[in-house]
Amino acid sequence: MARTRIPTPHGTAFLHLYHNNWDRKEHLAMVVDPAQFAEGPQLAPAIRSRSLDAVWSETETEMDRITRGAYVGRLSSTAHAASAPHTAHAHTHHPQSSDNIPSPLIRIHSECFTGETVGSMRCDCGEQLDEAIRLISQPIALPTGTTIPGRGAVVYLRQEGRGIGLLSKLRAYNLQDLGHDTVTANLMLGHGADERGYEVAGAVLRDLGLGGEQGESVRLLTNNPDKVHALQKEGLRVAERVPMVPRSWQGRDAAAGDAAAAPDVERITQGQKESKERAGGATMIGGDAVHGEDLEKYLRTKVLRMGHMLPLYLGDDP
């Protein structure tokens, strides 16, 4: 594996690239955690990769460690002072202090070439990736009145098209253009509605000290109940599920009486209210929202056929 610093529009993230023996793909994690730089006692354990900090071989040089990203603090041309000792401070445990701050915000994202790279408006995957980093990077106000920097991670899984691959997803799109929804199109092609697995995500999160017996619990950004259950099976301790509201749906009025979604309505409305206050009264839509008929159909299928926990809205077609 290797790690490097990535400046994002929302702040600094550390990109981790994982090789694995489960499949032949390179999965990724983007970690947002200012504790990576900080000296001295921390409020919470740093989100730090165990495999990155491990000593890989007795012959490994300091240059090897630096180029794969196993350093603490900011890398500079005087990196000698900043390079990690073989026992990195990140493994220090801070039991009392971690009780005082919320669990890190985690998003498990699945690859979507069409949505992320091509900018397709059939789905909101590109927007979701940006929105996840934005939400994770947002400062957190503690009950004591102190504000601390946001911390968390996006695990980026190479599971294109909900695991059916790009070719099958393109075929499914052609069936969708004949009027079928995303679930039926997958089934017509002989695939499951969703073929993803979360074993690699579980391993990546354990490597980052999240979940598992020793790890921190997390706040999980998702509307997908299957994803929550699958990750819990992998040992992730989910302290809270945080809804992932499509930007084009933010600011709408939720329909009354949607029993499945009702518990989230209040939370989302509250979140929008806070965002609106932060934005000086304007409705917050972070960046360009994907919108249109294709996206509406896609989102409604997720709610109506895949059980996603998002409220449908007044004014939507029955």
Ligand X SMILES: Nc1nc2c(ncn2[C@@H]2O[C@H](COP(=O)(O)OP(=O)(O)OP(=O)(O)O)[C@@H](O)[C@H]2O)c(=O)[nH]1
Active site residues: 194, 196
For the segment 16-45, give every residue that binds ligand X (CB under 6 A). none
CB of 271 to ligand X, least distance (A): 15
CB of 92 to ligand X, least distance (A): 32
Of 17, 19, 3, 9, the closest CA to residue 90 belongs to 3
Contact 248, 289 (CB under 8 A): yes
CB of 304 to ligand X, least distance (A): 13
C-alpha distances (whole Å) from 272 to each of 224, 245, 262, 268, 296 are 20, 10, 16, 6, 20
Residue 227 makes contact with ligand X by CB under 6 A: yes
Residue 125 makes contact with ligand X by CB under 6 A: yes
Residue 247 makes contact with ligand X by CB under 6 A: no
Residue 111 makes contact with ligand X by CB under 6 A: yes
Q: Would you call 15 helix, strand, or coil by DSSP?
A: strand
How far apart CA 221 and CA 154 sit, in angstroms, is 10
Nearer to ligand X, 110 or 138 (CB): 110
Nearer to ligand X, 3 or 252 (CB): 252
Nearer to ligand X, 82 or 173 (CB): 173
Nearer to ligand X, 63 or 118 (CB): 118
Binder of ligand X out of 224, 245, 247, 268 (CB under 6 A): 224
Cβ contacts of 45 within 8 Å, gap of 6 or more: 35, 90, 92, 93, 94, 98, 209, 216
How far apart CA 240 and CA 269 sit, in angstroms, is 17
Nearer to ligand X, 55 or 189 (CB): 189
For the segment 274-313, give every residue that binds ligand X (CB under 6 A). 302, 308
Binding mask 62-101 for ligand X (x = CB under 6 A): ----------------------------------------
Residue 223 makes contact with ligand X by CB under 6 A: yes
Nearer to ligand X, 137 or 223 (CB): 223
Binding mask 155-174 for ligand X (x = CB under 6 A): ----xxxx-x----x--x--
Q: Which residues of 226-248 are buried (b: 16+ CB within 10 A; e: fewer)?
A: ebbebbeebebbbeebbbbbbbb
Binder of ligand X out of 138, 182, 248, 250 (CB under 6 A): 182
Contact 236, 205 (CB under 8 A): yes
Q: Which helix (H) or strand (E) holds 183?
A: helix 182-188
Q: Which residues of 87-110 are buried (b: 16+ CB within 10 A; e: fewer)?
A: ebbbeeeeeeeeeeebbbbbbbbb
Contact 65, 88 (CB under 8 A): no
Angle at 84 between CA 78 and CA 86, to 5 degrees: 145
Residue 123 makes contact with ligand X by CB under 6 A: yes
Q: Which residues bind ligand X (CB under 6 A)?
A: 110-112, 123, 125, 128, 159-162, 164, 169, 172, 182, 186, 222-224, 227, 244, 302, 308
